[in-house]
Amino acid sequence: MVTIYDIAKKANVSAMTVSRVINNSGSISQKTRKKVEAVIEELGYIPNSSARSLTSKKSKILSLMVTDITNPFFTNIARGAEDKAMQMGYQLMLCNSDENVEKESKYIDMLISTGTDGVLAAPANDSSKKNLQKLAKYKIPYVLIDRYIEDLACDQVLSDNEMTTKRLLEHLIKQGHKKIAIVNAPLDIATAKERHHAYLDTLALHELPMNENWIYQSHFLQDSDISDTIKKMLALPETERPTAIFATSNFIGMNAVKYLKENEVKVPEDIAVVCYDSIPNYFGNEPFLTSAEQPSYNFGYFGAQLLIERVENTAPATPRKIVLPSELHLGASSLFKRK
């Protein structure tokens, strides 16, 4: 962990001078200030306003970093994490990154500065690795939920993306579908990447065709506008047009159905839709979207449990991984047998 003494040594000034630069106090020449600030930037020092690094006391505060708090999946994760934290005498602070690595970085700097005992994080994407490594540098434990990062040795609570994708696609296949499109998020997100590979593997397993015109990319946020995607899909020649859509998130699935209905495309008679994860029912009294519901509450509950064990030094040295299965819910959006 970088201290003001490391900065003072590197900049060849006193620790008091470094402190004055950080706190913007005292009389310091502009030349010295710039030199110290350059070393602070080089060493990646983050001032800790609570002086947490100088004591062995714990704040009894955990932090939860999610990518979209408007998504019921993450709302339920927060509920589970808070329940476990409260049971164990901790409080939970919520941070929302909006799938943005830079926003995520600012939150992590803030958490390091103000003090948190540990972080439960759903990374924005693969580039979040540098942000998580910053936590490790400051000896702040973290646990990954929903998404993993390659080559980061840490506790994880993840979805069974491969099996869940396979079950959704095999449901469509049993309904007679042979031309199945996928609408996914960017592949630098672990869940999107795993669902993409499982999509390709399942088509190959059932000796079904794979067409580049059936692979589309959006994002996981609620405002995912997939109108252009659906337009391109519907503009394909009839012999090449998909008869079903695998949406890799609840919002993608919901927005796909809304656009199809608004443009008088019958669901599921013309195009069936299934999606990964559930969403509150926006299409009537009965469940409409066929979905694979993740046990989101348990992601937060188990993740907080693993994190507290890390904070309290009761966890084993070897990182642990919990993989949670999803529950398939059949709805009208796919229940039409094709001949």
Eight-class DSSP state of 62: E
- The CATH number given to whatever domain includes residue 280 is 3.40.50.2300
259: in domain = yes
The label of the residue with tokens 């190959």 reads 204
- Please state, in angstroms and rounded to a whole number, the distance separating the CA atoms of residues 219 and 196: 13
| Chain centre distance of CA 287 | 26
Amino acid 77 reads I
Angle subtended at Cα 308 by Cα 327 and Cα 46, rounded to the nearest 5 degrees: 115
Instruction: List, in order, residues 6 or more apart from 306 with CB less than 8 Å away.
Output: 143, 155, 157, 315, 320, 322
Residue recorded with tokens 């201290």: 3
In a shared domain, residues 182 and 152: no
Q: How many residues belong to the chain?
A: 339
Residue partners of 147: CB distance under 8 A and separation at least 6: 122, 123, 158, 189, 190, 191
The answer to whether position 97 is within a domain reads yes
Q: In whole angstroms, what is the distance from residue 142 CA to residue 132 CA?
A: 8
Would you tell me the crossing angle of helices 161-174 and 190-205 to the nearest 10 degrees? 40
Same domain, 196 and 233: yes
Residues 150 and 267 in one domain: no
The answer to whether residue 337 is domain-embedded is: no
pLDDT computed for residue 54 by the predictor? 41
Q: Is 38 helix (H, G, I), strand (E, B) or coil?
A: helix
333 in any annotated domain:
no
Strand locations in the chain (E): 61-66, 91-96, 118-121, 142-146, 155-159, 180-184, 215-217, 244-247, 272-276, 290-293, 321-324, 327-329
303 and 315: one domain? yes
User: Could you tell me if 198 and 256 lie in one domain?
Assistant: yes
CA–CA separation, 337 vs 227, rounded Å? 26
| β-bridge partners, 321 | 156
Q: Would you put residue 168 in left (φ > 0), alpha (ψ -120 to 50) or beta?
A: alpha
Note down pLDDT in tens along the chain; length 339 residues: 688 888 989 999 988 888 888 877 777 889 899 999 899 888 888 776 544 444 445 789 999 999 999 899 999 999 999 999 999 999 999 999 999 999 999 999 999 988 899 999 999 999 999 999 999 999 999 999 999 999 999 999 999 999 999 999 999 999 999 999 999 999 999 999 999 999 999 999 999 999 999 999 988 887 777 888 999 999 999 999 999 999 999 999 999 999 999 999 999 999 999 999 987 655 555 668 999 999 999 999 999 999 999 999 999 999 999 999 999 999 999 999 887
Residue 122 and residue 183 share a domain: no
Q: Is 146 left (phi over 0), alpha (psi -120 to 50) or beta?
A: left
Is residue 334 domain-resident? no
In tens, the pLDDT along 103-117 reads 999 999 999 988 899
Q: Residue 55: what pLDDT?
A: 42
Q: Domain of residue 300: give its range.
A: 58-159+295-325
Query: Could you tell me if 118 and 140 lie in one domain?
Result: yes
Instruction: Tell me, yes or no, whether 287 and 318 share the same domain.
Output: no
Are residues 282 and 229 located together in one domain of the fold? yes
300 is a domain residue: yes
- Residue-level pLDDT at 286: 60
Q: Which residues contact 321 (CB under 8 A, 6 or more apart)?
A: 155, 156, 157, 158
Residues 271 and 300 in one domain: no
Residue 228: C-alpha distances to residues 14, 216, 249 (Å): 60, 10, 18
Does residue 171 belong to any structural domain of this protein? yes
Number of domains in the chain: 3
Strands 244-247 and 91-96: unpaired
Each residue's pLDDT tens digit, 248-259: 999 999 999 999
- Whether residue 213 sits in one domain with residue 125: no
Structure tokens at 146: 């929903």
Structure tokens at 17: 């001078």
Same-domain check for residues 126 and 193:
no
Coil, strand or helix: which one is 118?
strand
User: Is 113 contained in some domain?
Assistant: yes
CA distance 116 to 269: 52
